[in-house]
């Protein structure tokens, strides 16, 4: 997710491309191992256990997958510029996000969506602006 209106120096996309190449060579099993390692080291194990539980039914698919898609979630101002980037598979803007997610986290989701939409309205390109907006809303 990009929260500023500038593209930066491309390092972030470069990291994603390396991960996509690794998946194409090895499969996605290292994602599962990463989640397990984070869970072992976390003080909030239940959060990661919940994530692992939700993906465990699909573990074989993830492990054997050789195809990784890069999705960007960006401010509207970046949408056209990123569409020209040939290495990005899909782009979603903050306004593309659903109004409701239909579960127990719906109230929190509405706050997050509002904060992201406010990022689109700012003229400042800094991360501090987005952080300030989130702090104000939360």
- Tell me the per-residue pLDDT of 84-130, one tens digit each, with 9 for 90 and over: 665 677 788 888 889 998 888 889 889 988 888 887 776 654 554 45
- Whole-model pTM: value is 0.55
Residue 25 has a pLDDT of 92
pLDDT (mean) for 56-71: 84
Question: Which residue blocks in the chain are alpha helix, DSSP H?
Answer: 11-26, 29-41, 45-56, 59-64, 76-83, 106-121, 127-137
In angstroms, the CA 126 to CA 77 distance is 14
């Amino acid at each position: 997710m990009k929260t500023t209106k500038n593209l930066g120096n491309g390092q972030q996309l470069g990291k994603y491309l390396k991960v996509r190449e690794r998946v194409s060579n090895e499969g996605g099993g290292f994602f599962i191992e990463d989640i397990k390692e984070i869970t072992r080291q976390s003080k909030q194990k239940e959060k990661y256990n919940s994530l692992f539980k939700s993906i465990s039914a699909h573990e074989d698919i993830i492990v054997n997958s050789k195809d990784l898609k890069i999705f960007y979630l960006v401010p509207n101002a970046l949408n056209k510029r990123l569409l020209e980037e040939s290495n990005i598979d899909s782009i979603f803007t903050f306004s593309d996000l659903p109004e409701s997610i239909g579960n127990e986290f719906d109230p929190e989701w509405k706050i997050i969506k509002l904060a992201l939409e406010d990022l689109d309205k700012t003229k400042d390109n800094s991360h501090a602006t987005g952080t300030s907006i989130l702090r104000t809303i939360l």
